[in-house]
A = this chain, B = another copy of it.
Amino acid sequence: MAGRINRKEILVVAMQQFSNRGYAGVSMRNIASACQLNIGSLYHHFNDKQELYLAAVQQAFTGRSAHLLAVLKSNKPPQNRLSSLIDVLCQILDEDQTFLKFVQRELLDGDERRLKYLANQVFGTLIIELNQLCRQISPQLDPVLLANTIIGMVLHLFQSAPLRQHLPGFQQEHQQPEIISQHVQQILWQGLISPHLRGSL
């Protein structure tokens, strides 16, 4: 009676463990005891470790792009859409560490099957829309690379946070999603040389 946990609850626990310590770094016993569950019971819900890991990854990814896609498809002007996208992305990454860590791990492990799943099911439609938006906003740049770069600027500022703490010049506010979003947008809109200085070149 104290036990009785459902599949979804197990997946939430597995998500946290796998995203933090990786596939090989987490044992079935780790997850079982974190769920206050016997290891035999864990195998009642999932056939093997691979299946549990895959389900946890999918759980972490499902529905995660819906919000971003809605922003991209709104009928505001292109520049506003990009601005909102960056805002929302920063918000999501700040709230949910799991998502970002899984993306990093999948990039590192490089399993072809799971990368294809990521590309098609998670990021596919999102990237198509973002590519198109980039083409509209900045016709002189390669839209595919630009889309990737924008995502990368934001992702890196979040994933490098643990290191940045120890780097010279660190300030607490550099971790705030609003600050990060604003900073990225500043670079994108005006580049390094502010417009009023450009004439003097």
B residues within 8 A CB of A162?
107, 110, 115
The residue of chain B having its C-beta at the shortest distance from the C-beta of A122 within the complex is: B163
Number of A interface residues at 8 Å Cβ cutoff, please give it.
Answer: 68
Interface assignment of A40: CB less than 8 Å from any CB of chain B: no
Q: Which of A175-201 contact B (CB under 8 A)?
A: 179-180, 183-184, 186-195, 198
B residues within 8 A CB of A107?
104, 159-160, 162-163
| Pair A164/B191 contact, Cβ less than 8 Å | no
| Pair A116/B156 contact, Cβ less than 8 Å | no
Known: A152-B160, A153-B153, A187-B188. A193 touches B145 (CB 8 A): no
Stretch from A42-50, A59-67, A123-131 contacting the other chain = A123-131
Interface assignment of A1: CB less than 8 Å from any CB of chain B: no
The residue of chain B having its C-beta at the shortest distance from the C-beta of A104 within the complex is: B108
B residues within 8 A CB of A183?
141-142, 145-146, 149
For the complex, give the distance between the alpha carbons of A168 and B153 in Å: 20
Number of copies: 2
B residues within 8 A CB of A167?
119, 123-124, 127, 144, 148
Interface assignment of A55: CB less than 8 Å from any CB of chain B: no
The residue of chain B having its C-beta at the shortest distance from the C-beta of A27 within the complex is: B24
For the complex, give the distance between the alpha carbons of A156 and B147 in Å: 12
Interface assignment of A6: CB less than 8 Å from any CB of chain B: no
Interface centre among A107, A109, A148, A194 (most CB of B within 10 A): A148
A residues near B (Cβ < 8 Å) are: 21-25, 101, 104-110, 115-116, 118-120, 123-124, 127-128, 131, 137-138, 140-146, 148-149, 151-153, 155-157, 159-160, 162-171, 174, 179-180, 183-184, 186-195, 198
